[in-house]
């Protein structure tokens, strides 16, 4: 999942720092910091180190370019929770000069609760007091093997609770306490910034800890985790049950065909499906067509079209009832419907998040063979996962009244071509918040959702879609200047590229057919 955060951190680096300047260039001030008093936790140790001309090296997928020239007080705080037998690391980086008066906590990705130096560097470079945590589970976004289960094979409930929600409170309380102690004043504004797992954590903050942050940016939030993660296994089950394993180039042919059919529905042929729900693409149209695959031609079969149709439909039970959503038309199919060739035979290969969740938490057997999952078994896994873990990591409580009353602002964005986390799950959450809180007009005052056409997970790979250029700046303006974002500025690449706008749900950007392709050519309707 790490590769999907390139654009997210590039946008973070482009954010505009505030005009407030705070200097604290004192080695003594950094090394003499005291243990903060953190409710519900005991601080084991604190260590402050002054770093001058410090560099954070680039990291494939998470930090595209190195961050250089940092002058910071780098603070490591280790804490534990009574009865948890844990050791949680919270890292706080404090600019020695040019502090902008703000605090920002950054979220994680995959099975990591925080990016640590990889997010602290860009954030501190912009003048923020920055914090990140490992939640006591270490830093391995790709695998929870080290912490998911106890020695007796049971679920490590304390580690899961820390990863799911408790670490959000830890990083905020520790980070703000250290910031105040170092600068001798409280941060004027506090923010959360995250995508995917980090987006889910942002919604945890709004739901469980409504007074911790003034503003929350949550991209592609991994909410309804126990349900959506099991739904990620659906394409693998479909391929196995239908005994049909399409190659990546076959899958791409369906994505391309859907875009070709529905691209111009909005009046502008730009290689992007503006509104996937208005697309009625039928995969069976490709049956009999030939596609070029690795130097030879493959004819699309009816069985391949059937698999693709079911992937788009999403999982349903034996009674035909929907269990969760499918991928949108225009999204890449070959991540969740990934295949590998073994001894000349193509077979399925599950995405690491759903693979680990099912084996470690639902089945509780790391050696479980996911090829055993048929349609009936998957239906049972949905029920078991939701029953056992919704209250822990569902992160989709629609009652945000406490966050609203605290004056917080929540900005959520999601790419409509997300190939990992189903955008309609985020739409469903927004709709449920409206139902819980008396309608859209009231909710729009503090919570706005922006759906980015043609954009994949956390805008991680180059696409023709309308990628938001700086949603965090829009959040800061909303919090500090009371300017609710009427739209988000976005950028589209490709031959029809240029500036665009992304409208707040349920509005969509409608092309005015003026012969141009710029932000001014679209209205929110």
Q: Which residues are identified as catalytic?
A: 196, 418, 457
Among residues 278, 220, 273, the alpha carbon closest in space to that of 429 is found at 220
Please tell me the distance from the alpha carbon of residue 504 to that of residue 402, in angstroms, as a whole number: 22
Q: Mutual orientation of helices 234-242 and 375-393 as an angle, nearest 10°? A: 170
Residue 196 phi, psi dihedral angles, 5° rounding: 65, -115
Contact between 338 and 349 under an 8 Å Cβ cutoff? The reply is yes
Contact between 132 and 120 under an 8 Å Cβ cutoff? The reply is yes
**In b/e form, how buried is each residue of 204-241, taking b as 16+ CB within 10 angstroms?**
bbbbbbbebbbbbbbbbbbbbbbbbbbbbbbbbbbbbe
Q: Are strands 345-348 and 339-342 parallel, antiparallel or unpaired?
A: antiparallel
Contact between 123 and 102 under an 8 Å Cβ cutoff? The reply is no
- What single-letter DSSP state applies at residue 328? P
Please tell me the distance from the alpha carbon of residue 15 to that of residue 439, in angstroms, as a whole number: 32
Long-range contacts of 431-435 (CB under 8 A, 24+ apart): 432/396, 432/398, 433/398, 433/400, 435/398
Structure tokens that stand for 139 in this block: 């830093």
Q: What stretches of 352-439 show up as alpha helix (H) in DSSP?
A: 352-356, 375-393, 401-405, 423-436
Please tell me the distance from the alpha carbon of residue 144 to that of residue 152, in angstroms, as a whole number: 16
* Dihedral of alpha carbons 417, 421, 426, 428, sign: positive
Residue 20 phi, psi dihedral angles, 5° rounding: -65, 135
Please tell me the distance from the alpha carbon of residue 12 to that of residue 261, in angstroms, as a whole number: 35
* Edge-first strand listing for the sheet containing 67-80: 42-56, 67-80, 88-95, 129-133, 102-106, 189-195, 215-219, 409-415, 447-452
Phi-psi region of 374 (alpha: psi -120 to 50; beta: other; left: phi over 0): beta
Long-range contacts of 469-472 (CB under 8 A, 24+ apart): 469/11, 469/14, 470/11, 470/14, 470/15, 470/16, 471/11, 471/217, 471/219, 471/411, 471/413, 472/11, 472/12, 472/15, 472/191, 472/193, 472/217
The enclosing H or E element of 103 equals strand 102-106
């Amino acid at each position: 999942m790490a590769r999907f955060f390139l654009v997210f951190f590039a946008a973070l680096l482009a954010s505009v720092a505030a005009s407030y300047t705070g200097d604290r260039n004192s080695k003594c001030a950094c090394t003499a910091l005291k243990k903060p008093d953190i409710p519900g936790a005991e601080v084991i140790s604190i260590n402050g180190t002054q770093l001058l001309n410090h560099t954070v090296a680039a990291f494939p997928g998470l930090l595209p370019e190195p961050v250089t020239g940092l002058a910071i007080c780098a603070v490591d705080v280790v804490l534990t929770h009574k009865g948890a037998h844990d050791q949680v690391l919270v890292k706080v980086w404090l600019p020695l000069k040019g502090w902008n008066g703000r605090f920002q906590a950054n979220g994680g990705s995959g099975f990591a609760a925080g990016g640590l130096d990889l997010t602290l560097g860009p954030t501190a470079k912009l003048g923020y007091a920055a914090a990140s945590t490992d939640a006591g589970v270490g830093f391995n976004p790709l695998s929870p093997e080290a912490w998911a289960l106890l020695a007796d094979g049971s679920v490590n409930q304390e580690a899961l609770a820390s990863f799911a929600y408790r670490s959000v409170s830890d990083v905020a309380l520790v980070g703000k306490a250290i910031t105040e102690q170092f600068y001798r004043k409280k941060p004027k504004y506090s923010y959360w910034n995250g995508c995917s797992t980090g987006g889910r954590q942002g919604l945890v903050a709004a739901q469980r800890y409504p007074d911790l942050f003034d503003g929350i940016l949550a991209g592609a939030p991994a909410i309804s985790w126990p349900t959506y993660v099991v739904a990620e296994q659906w394409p693998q089950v479909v391929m196995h049950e239908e005994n049909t394993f399409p190659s990546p180039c076959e899958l791409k042919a369906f994505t391309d065909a859907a875009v070709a059919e529905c691209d111009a529905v909005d009046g502008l042929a730009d290689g992007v499906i503006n509104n996937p729900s208005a697309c009625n693409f039928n995969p069976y149209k490709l049956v009999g067509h030939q596609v070029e695959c690795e130097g030879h031609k493959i004819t699309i079969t009816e069985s391949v079209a059937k698999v693709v149709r079911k992937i788009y439909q999403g999982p349903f039970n034996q009674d035909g009832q929907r269990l969760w959503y499918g991928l949108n038309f225009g999204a890449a199919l070959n991540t969740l419907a990934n295949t590998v060739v073994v001894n000349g035979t193509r077979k399925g290969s599950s995405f690491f998040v759903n693979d680990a969740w099912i084996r470690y938490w639902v089945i509780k057997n790391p050696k479980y063979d996911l090829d055993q999952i048929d349609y009936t078994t998957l239906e049972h896994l949905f029920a078991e996962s939701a029953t056992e873990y919704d209250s822990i990591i569902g992160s989709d409580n629609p009652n945000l009244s406490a966050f609203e009353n605290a004056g917080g602002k929540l900005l959520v964005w999601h790419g409509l071509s997300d190939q990992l986390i189903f955008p309609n799950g985020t739409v469903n959450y927004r709709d449920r918040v409206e139902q819980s809180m008396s309608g859209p007009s009231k909710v729009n005052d503090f919570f706005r959702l922006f759906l980015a056409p043609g954009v994949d997970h956390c805008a991680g790979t180059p696409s023709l879609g309308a990628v938001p250029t700086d949603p965090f700046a829009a959040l800061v303006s909303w919090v500090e200047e009371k300017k609710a974002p009427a739209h988000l500025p976005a950028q589209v690449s490709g031959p029809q590229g240029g500036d665009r706008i992304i409208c707040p749900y349920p509005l969509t950007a409608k092309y005015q057919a003026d012969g141009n392709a710029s932000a001014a050519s679209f209205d929110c309707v």
